[in-house]
A and B are shown apart, each in its own frame.
Chain A
Amino acid sequence: MKETYRNGRTAFLFILPALLLILFIVFLPIVLNLYNSFFRWNSFEAGKTFVGFDYYVRLFKDPVFFTALKNNSLYAIISLICQVGGGIIIAAILEDKLIRRFQPFFRTVFFIPSVISIAVVGLMWQLIYNPEIGLVNGVLNVIGQSEWAHSWLGDSKTAIYAVVAVSQWQYTGYMTMLFLIAMQKIPMEYYEAAMIDGASKINSFFHITLPQIKEMILVGSVITVIGAFKVFDEVYVMTFGGPGRSTEVLGTMLYRSAFRNDEMGYASTIGTIIFIITLTLSLIQMKLGKSGQEVE
């Protein structure tokens, strides 16, 4: 039977439209980008000056680059714990017999933040974090912990955590949803059989649920980690990298170089580095997840 599936040309026809679009719109710019990173130029001037690897050398001496790298990694780690880890646990609880009655409601509510534009979410949270009129400090005062009240986004030590927290607020429900989809494909019989064998819920979770949703865990962690290195809108809207450069991420650093400092070449260099980092990370994750399994 396998023979009918070994028709490369038909397969190619199915893939072609998507492939062409991705090649021309997503990849061609990457190649141009690599080329651009060897020149000093700005968007409104005609000439380009060849600078070779100068920008790469400068990037690795730029302290802001390491701040950005640190912030991106922080983003990735916290998001993995909250969105992937938390998402799996919440999804598993929602699938539990005792809670499933309430699942539609909670699942709907938890997902809502992720359909709202980051422009909206960002401005909303700016106001919530505001030390004078904001809700966070208001709540802290009410519960008698006013000494914890803080200028969350305005302090260069806490700002990045405040920004990361908003992302968790926004996307944990999204991940939960992805895991729910995966868990609902697990045949009920598996759990029933385990129950008969006397396995506890926690046991079933580790021995049935987790292995069965492995593929989705991989997908989830890949998009979370890559998303963390691509992050831009959240920071742009809430702090634009400030105070100082404390919340700078690679995305905003690139944007600042390109459109505020008129250094398109430097921006292209940062773009190339983002590409290399995300490519490496996802290759590692794919290897770890051995998602090549379909090539039997």
Chain B
Amino acid sequence: MRTKILIVCMLMLALVITGCSSSTSSNEDESDKIVLKFLHKWPQPQYAPYFEEVVKEFESQNPDIKIKMEAIADEPIKDKLRVILGGSEVPDIMFSWSGEFARKFVRADAALDLTPYLEEDAAWKDSFIPASLQPFSSDGKNYGIPLRFNGKFFVYNKEIFDKHGLQAPKTWDEFLDVLDTLKEEGETPLMLGNESPWAAIHYLTGLNQKMVDQEVRMNDYNPRSGEFTDSGYVKAMEMLAELNEKGYFMDNVNSSSHDMVKQMFFAGKGAMFYVELEEFQDVENALKGNWGFFPMPSIADGNGSQKYITGAPDGFIVSSKTKHPKEAIEFLKFLTSKENSLKLVKDIGWPSPIEGATNPDTALKQVAEGVDYMKQAEGMAEWLDTDVHAKVADVYLSNIQLLLDGSKSPEEIIKEVQAVAKQVQSEVE
């Protein structure tokens, strides 16, 4: 009987071991190749094929390099990146948001300094829209290569606007007038799906930038010196709360997710919706030309520049532990080549940071216009939740829902932000 058990145990062990080895054996025949591990965040069936095609093309042009590609979706990758960066098998090239999200990896020496490679190949560097490289830099050095250049705009349903004789507003007061008219005519003026609170944070991103002086804000967003004592931060939150109190947002903003609300907007259930440039293609698919867009309107009494656009690039960083920096750069160059950028714009409708890639021939007219807005802007207001220290972002993120359900006031929230900013200051060397 004992032998029977032993056999069962051994069988199982054998199973486990074959299980393990089968995962590694696939690389064996390619052991003489350089293997690059590449991690991105678009596993969804509508995007993944683009990356598969580009990788295949790269491998056929560089037969001695093998790309091991993995993709993890948007939310899980935030956790996953932190875990793998602490391990011994870090991917050579990985996705990162720009701003503080990337800078914390830079501070931890986890990201490779890409400045020399950019300097070396001036043509490559110059092919980027300058504003798309800047958010990936820290202390004058470049740590990330942008893949997309994303801006945030209000899109509106033209049918509803025309019905009430409305036009895209340029200033905040005009914006409020439009909202007021819509409300009185019985429409839902603004759609917002704030179940994941980044949706409302994107409003606050622009409002903070427009209300607070640039230098003060940059100082506050820096984890080493953040204080958040400027009165503009409170005003920004008050303006957001006002939109809600006056009933301009749809009901129950906290219980629907952005992607659900988007479908309702497409079904004509609301007049305006705040979306990213990469979503324009979806809007066009659903509304078929019957829509327009405008950036966040300028605020007369704001202390920040009114010529900024909310948005940021996202792209890739290279691990500081990579054994093949040259090949990794080679791949990034290929990924951001004019040819592949045109393909990116054409195939999946994303705005590219490569100069001239997002043009009316390749892209949707509105996407090209959106990129022009960003090129002409004085600067970009990067997403608040990735541009401040993770702990500050967390306080903002969880409290913004309470601001919108009326259980916390802007003053209470800013006090918490100040407290955590102070704590962060003491912890970041």
Direct contact of A and B (CB under 8 A): yes
Distance between Cα atoms of A178 and B109 in the complex (Å): 53
B252 interface hit (Cβ, 8 Å):
yes
Q: Which residues of B contact A240 (CB under 8 A)?
A: 196
Residues of A within 8 A of B401 (CB): 156, 242-244
Q: How far is the CA of A212 from the CA of B79 in the complex (A)?
A: 47
Give the nearest-CB partner of A41 in chain B: B86
Assess whether B255 is in contact with A151, with CB atoms less than 8 Å apart.
Answer: yes
Nearest CB of A to B106, in Å: 11
Determine the chain B residues whose CB is within 8 A of the CB of A131 once the complex forms. 251-252, 255-256
Between A and B, how many residue pairs show CB distances below 8 Å?
A: 96
**Chain B facing A: main interface SS:** helix
One of B41-49, B277-285, B402-410 contacting the partner: B402-410
Which among B253, B255, B257, B402 is the interface contact of A244 at CB below 8 angstroms?
Answer: B402
Q: Which residues of A contact B69 (CB under 8 A)?
A: none
The answer to whether residues A156 and B252 also contact, given A43-B85, A44-B108 and a CB cut-off of 8 A, is no
| A184: min CB distance to chain B, Å | 29
- In the bound complex, do residue B78 and residue A244 qualify as a contact, i.e. CB atoms below 8 Å apart? no
Query: Are B408 and A244 neighbours in the complex by a CB distance under 8 Å?
Result: yes
A131 CA to B257 CA, complexed, in Å: 12
User: In the bound complex, what is the Cα–Cα distance between A255 and B394 (angstroms)?
Assistant: 13
Give the B-binding residues of A (Cβ under 8 A): 40, 42-46, 126, 129-133, 151-156, 240-245, 255-256, 259-263
Chain B residues with Cβ below 8 Å from A262 are 82, 104, 390-391
CB–CB B86/A130 < 8 A: no
By size class, the interface of chain B is 35 or more
- Distance from B175 Cβ to chain A, minimum over Cβ atoms (Å): 25
Q: Is the CB of B398 within 8 A of A259?
A: no
Asked if B264 and A132 sit within 8 Å, CB to CB, the answer is yes
Q: Is the beta-carbon distance between A154 and B390 smaller than 8 angstroms? A: no
Cβ contacts A to B, 26 pairs, < 8 Å: A40-B427, A43-B82, A44-B81, A44-B110, A45-B110, A126-B257, A129-B255, A130-B255, A130-B256, A132-B252, A151-B251, A151-B254, A153-B254, A154-B195, A154-B255, A154-B405, A155-B405, A240-B196, A242-B254, A243-B401, A244-B398, A244-B407, A255-B79, A259-B82, A260-B78, A261-B394
Which chain B positions have C-beta within 8 A of A45? 86, 107-110
Q: Is the CB of B255 within 8 A of A156?
A: no
Not counting A130-B255, A242-B254, a sample of 15 additional A-B residue pairs whose C-beta atoms are within 8 angstroms of each other reads A43-B82, A43-B86, A44-B81, A44-B108, A45-B110, A130-B260, A132-B252, A151-B252, A156-B401, A156-B407, A240-B196, A244-B399, A259-B82, A262-B104, A262-B390
Chain A nearest CB: distance from B40 CB in Å?
18
Residues in chain B near residue A156, CB distance under 8 A: 401-402, 405, 407
Q: Is the CB of B407 within 8 A of A44?
A: no
Assembly CA distance A244 to B404 (angstroms): 10
Min CB distance, B402 to chain A, in Å?
Answer: 4
User: Are A242 and B197 closer than 8 Å at their CB atoms?
Assistant: yes
Measured CB to CB, the nearest residue on chain B to A154 is: B255
A260 B394 Cβ-Cβ under 8 A: yes
